[in-house]
Structure 1
Amino acid sequence: MMDPRTSAQDVMRCDLCETALVQMYCDTCLINLCKACVGEHMISDVSRKHELVTFQFRKSNPLYPGCTSHDKERCEMYCNQCHIPVCSTCLASNQHLGHKLLKTMQVLEEKKEKIAKEKNELNETINPTYQDIVSDVQNRMSQLEKKCGDLSTAITKHGEDCHREIDKLVQKLKAEVEEMKTTQLHTLQKHLDEVNKKISEINDEINSMDVALDSNDTSTVFSFMSNVDEYKNLPQKILPSLPKFTPGRIQGKLCKLFGTLSPISVRSEEHGYSVKTTQKSPEAASSPVIKQLLDEPQTVTTIHTGYEYCLDNVACLSDEEIWTSGEDSTMKLFSINQGSLLKSMRTKSGNTPTDIAVTNSGDLVYADYRDRTVNIVKNEEIQTVIRLKKWNPRCVCSTSSDGLLVIMDSDDCKQSKVVRYSGSTKKQTIQFNDQSKPLYSSGRFSIKYISENRNLDICVADWGAKAVVVVNQAGRLRFRYTGHTPVPKNQLFCPRGITTDSQSHILTADGNNDCVHIIDQDGQFLRYIVCGLSEPWGLCKDTTNNLFVAQCINKQVKKIKYQQ
Structure 2
Amino acid sequence: MALSESHAPPDAQHYLVCGTEDCEKNCQFYCNDCHQQMCEQCRDEHQKNKKTRNHEVVHYKQRKRRIPVEKCKSHPTKDIELICEECQIPICSKCTATKEHRGHVFTDLEIVFAEKVSQYQEEIDKIRNYFEPVSQEVKIEIAGDVTEIKKIMEDIRTAMKAEAEYLKRMVDTVTSDNIEQVNKIEQSLLQTLNSQNQEIDDYINYLNDLIQTYYGYLSPSKIENLTSSLKSKSLKIRRVPETSKPVPPVFTAGQHSKEDVAKLLGKITVPNTKAENRKIKPMETASTQLKPTGKQRKQDREKSDVKQTLSLSSSVTKVREYTVPGVCSVYHISLGKSGRLWVSDYIGNLVQTDLKGYQLQKIQTSGRDEGYHTVTHDEDLIYTDKVNKVINRITPDISITEFIKTGDWESLSIHSSHINGDILVGMIKDGKPSKVTRYNKTGSEIQNIQRDNKGQTLYGTPHYITENINGDVCVSDHYSGVVVVDKSGQHRFSYTGQGSWFRPYGICTDVLGHILVCDTYSDTVHLLDQDGQFLSLLLTEQQGLKYPYSVCVDDENNLWVGQYETNTVTVYKYLQ
Q: Give the TM-score of the pair, scaled to structure 2.
A: 0.49
TM-score for the superposition, normalised by structure 1: 0.50
